[in-house]
Amino acid sequence: MSTPREPGVPGTDPGASVGSGPAAPPGAPFEETPWRRLDPRTLLVHCGWMAAPLGSLALTALATGGRINTEAWITLAAISASFAVLTTLGLIRWARTEFRITLPRRGEGAGGASPTFDVRSGLLTRRLRSVPLHRIRTVDLTATPVHRVLGVTVLRAGTAGSGDGSSELSLEALAVPEAERLRTELLAYADAEAIANDPVVARINWRWLRYAPLTFWVIGGVFVAAGGAYRALDGIGIEAWKLGFVQRAFTEFGASALWLTIPAALVAILALGSVGAVVLYVENWWSYCLEWTDSRTLRVRRGLLTTRAVTIERARLRGVVLREPLLLRAGGGALVRAVAGGLGNREENRKRSGLLPPAPRAEALRVAGGTLRSPFPGSAAPAALTPHPRVALRRRRVRGLLFVVLPGTAVPAGLGAAFTPVLLHCAWIYALITTALSLWLARDAYRNLGHGLDGPYLVARSGTFSRDTVALQRDAVAAWTFSTSPFTRRAGLVTLTAAVAAGDDGYRIPDLPAADAAGFATTAAPGILEEFLVHPGPAPVPEQRSR
């Protein structure tokens, strides 16, 4: 492992370099901190692009039995030339990029000077960018798979009003521990109060586009679009199945090797769906900006063809939902919705309550916090939510086995026993796969269950296909509902629903222990159900009302 912490050009006076931004003048009350360099493994990252052409070349060589023809030789030469050029450029960039944190000298630091983060780069035009640490709002570390293999990561520091990339400092790339250390150093001076008071909560960052394909609609959307096209054609009297090229395509599809064409078709559908998702994402979230227009109004602006602007009055903002659909969660993303009154009916509310598109989870937590004007529960430390009893896990397992595994197995098994053994094989394969899958999902669903109180907020988390963490203002709770079924009653559980005059109206906390539910509801929103409580003792019975 090479150490990234090489002193670059120690003692170089920062003021001497061609600078943009408030560079520290010579003799400033700063400690001379050494310049630090990027990790040399960055050079290897730049070679990552060669994988695809080299791979295809190797495949060609394999396919032709080791014979490399002229064309391949030319490709190889081109790759080598590009490699040489890019590596040289990378080497120069690596050698010429340096960064450091300057700290005010002890005793003199009080004179208005604040610590800054300096990055200088460039071969001919030396560029020095220097950002006061208290203006830094976000520091995120991102790593592509290539970065991860090499154990390095890209660090980006965003300042107030950044997000479009212009006022952002990025270092590519640092060793992971080094990057973590730098992030801590950078954020140690970030002005927490300014973060809370910054009117712009979030702007679109096109790097978030990578989260766009992480929805179930990537596959479903293709079929929906295909169905729509078919119906449209059908409407004008064209039967798609009878078109010559469609029939030919299907015949060829069936005739060629299925083990090759089916994966190819799947990949094509995935690619098409991803493109669709990205297009939708761009259309929906173009020039997205979430900001406090004044201290009482939150405004979301977005949209490319249709521009949308939703204004939410603070008094009507009752909470925030952090949604993490399964795929998005797997990719480390989340999206944020407002729980606000007056956004219209359920459908309109769904369309208008979006505060943040699919984005990195850390960003989602930050936006949720910026919306609540207090840290979103669980963003600082892992949320201390109370887990639910183990019986809830059993209920989820039984539910999965009963409603997914059983019908899908029993029907083909029955038919198979009657007609053909092929269906029997289908049945046991289905049973095996869905059992494993539903047990895994049940476990995930159970782990996601949690509830708790965090200052003025009631926090509840549930769901597996979409893990939703809702933070509701406790004094916004308008009513409590305790729902049970014979099964939950036997298991000693109850589902508590908090009614609020905002968002989806009712927010469920599924499968609470029955003994704790009333106590939790009372603590969370006092003044509603105290007079209907009994403290364990003689069990009361409903008496016949005298008439």
Partner 1 sequence: MPEHAAPLLRPPRHRVDPRARRWWTLQALLTLSGPMLLTALTMVVLSLLFFPGALPWLGPLLLVVLVLPALGYLLVMPRWRYAVHAWELGSQAVYAAGGWFWQKRRIAPLSRVQTVDTVRGPLQRRYGLATVTVTTASTAGDIKIAGLSDADAEELSLRISEAAQDVPGDAA
- Tell whether residue 532 is a contact of partner 1 (CB under 8 A): yes
Tokens 């360099």 sit on residue: 37
- Tell whether residue 242 is a contact of partner 1 (CB under 8 A): no
Q: What is the DSSP letter of 322?
A: E
Q: Given the complex with partner 1, which of 277 and 498 has the nearer CB atom?
A: 498
- Tell whether residue 418 is a contact of partner 1 (CB under 8 A): no
Q: Given the complex with partner 1, which of 150 and 521 has the nearer CB atom?
A: 521
Tokens 């023809």 sit on residue: 69
Q: Given the complex with partner 1, which of 332 and 506 has the nearer CB atom?
A: 506
**Greatest Cα-to-Cα distance within the chain, rounded to the nearest angstrom:** 103
Stretch that binds partner 1, among 120-128, 159-167, 326-334, 512-520 (CB under 8 A): 512-520
- Tell whether residue 350 is a contact of partner 1 (CB under 8 A): no
Stretch that binds partner 1, among 176-184, 228-236, 420-428, 515-523 (CB under 8 A): 515-523
Supply φ then ψ for residue 302, to 5 degrees.
Answer: -165, 170
The residue from 341, 349, 359, 384 that contacts partner 1 (CB under 8 A) is 341
Q: Given the complex with partner 1, which of 106 and 547 has the nearer CB atom?
A: 547
- Tell whether residue 506 is a contact of partner 1 (CB under 8 A): yes
Q: Given the complex with partner 1, which of 328 and 496 has the nearer CB atom?
A: 496
Q: What is the DSSP letter of 527?
A: T
With CA atoms as reference, report the closest residue to 358 among 389, 387, 386, 333: 333
- E strand spans, 430-473: 450-454, 457-462, 466-473
Q: Given the complex with partner 1, which of 30 and 480 has the nearer CB atom?
A: 480
- Tell whether residue 106 is a contact of partner 1 (CB under 8 A): no
Tokens 């660090």 sit on residue: 155
With CA atoms as reference, report the closest residue to 260 among 329, 86, 252: 252
Query: From the CB of residue 445, how many other CB atoms can be counted at a distance below 10 Å?
Result: 24
**All residues at 6 or more sequence positions from 69 whose CB lies less than 8 Å from its CB, including other chains:** none
Structure tokens at 493: 């559980």
Distance CA 297, CA 429 (A): 55
Q: Given the complex with partner 1, which of 46 and 352 has the nearer CB atom?
A: 352
Q: Given the complex with partner 1, which of 221 and 341 has the nearer CB atom?
A: 341
Q: Where are the alpha helices (DSSP H) in 139-257?
A: 145-150, 176-188, 192-197, 217-235, 244-255
Count of residues that interact with partner 1, criterion CB under 8 A: 44
- Tell whether residue 519 is a contact of partner 1 (CB under 8 A): yes
Stretch that binds partner 1, among 114-122, 174-182, 204-212, 537-545 (CB under 8 A): 537-545
Distance CA 401, CA 222 (A): 30
- Tell whether residue 479 is a contact of partner 1 (CB under 8 A): yes
- Tell whether residue 542 is a contact of partner 1 (CB under 8 A): yes
Smallest gap from residue 259 Cβ to partner 1 (A) = 45
Distance CA 322, CA 368 (A): 7
- Tell whether residue 26 is a contact of partner 1 (CB under 8 A): no
Smallest gap from residue 508 Cβ to partner 1 (A) = 9
- First vs last Cα of the chain: how many Å apart? 87
Query: From the CB of residue 296, how many other CB atoms can be counted at a distance below 10 Å?
Result: 11
CB 173 within 8 A of CB 38: yes
Helix (H) or strand (E) holding 329: helix 326-330
The one-letter code for the residue type at 475 is D
Smallest gap from residue 341 Cβ to partner 1 (A) = 8
User: ∠ CA(495), CA(501), CA(503), 5° rounding?
Assistant: 80
Q: Given the complex with partner 1, which of 2 and 546 has the nearer CB atom?
A: 546
Stretch that binds partner 1, among 57-65, 271-279, 371-379, 492-500 (CB under 8 A): 492-500
The residue from 482, 491, 512, 524 that contacts partner 1 (CB under 8 A) is 482
- Tell whether residue 527 is a contact of partner 1 (CB under 8 A): yes
The residue from 194, 309, 485, 490 that contacts partner 1 (CB under 8 A) is 485
Strand partners, 298: 292, 312
- Tell whether residue 478 is a contact of partner 1 (CB under 8 A): yes
- Tell whether residue 44 is a contact of partner 1 (CB under 8 A): no
- Tell whether residue 534 is a contact of partner 1 (CB under 8 A): yes
Smallest gap from residue 454 Cβ to partner 1 (A) = 21
**All residues at 6 or more sequence positions from 208 whose CB lies less than 8 Å from its CB, including other chains:** 333, 357, 358, 359, 360, 363
Supply φ then ψ for residue 468, to 5 degrees.
Answer: -110, 125
- Tell whether residue 540 is a contact of partner 1 (CB under 8 A): yes
Query: From the CB of residue 7, how many other CB atoms can be counted at a distance below 10 Å?
Result: 13
- Tell whether residue 391 is a contact of partner 1 (CB under 8 A): no
- Tell whether residue 294 is a contact of partner 1 (CB under 8 A): no
* Residue 5: alpha-carbon gap to chain centroid: 32
Stretch that binds partner 1, among 31-39, 242-250, 303-311, 522-530 (CB under 8 A): 522-530
Q: Given the complex with partner 1, which of 340 and 364 has the nearer CB atom?
A: 340
Exposure on the CB side of residue 507, measured as CA atoms within 13 A: 28
- Tell whether residue 500 is a contact of partner 1 (CB under 8 A): yes
Smallest gap from residue 487 Cβ to partner 1 (A) = 10
Smallest gap from residue 469 Cβ to partner 1 (A) = 19
- Tell whether residue 458 is a contact of partner 1 (CB under 8 A): no
Tokens 């490709």 sit on residue: 75
Stretch that binds partner 1, among 163-171, 206-214, 458-466, 536-544 (CB under 8 A): 536-544
User: Which residues bind to partner 1, rule: CB under 8 A?
Assistant: 341, 478-486, 489, 497-502, 505-506, 514-519, 522, 527-537, 540-545, 547
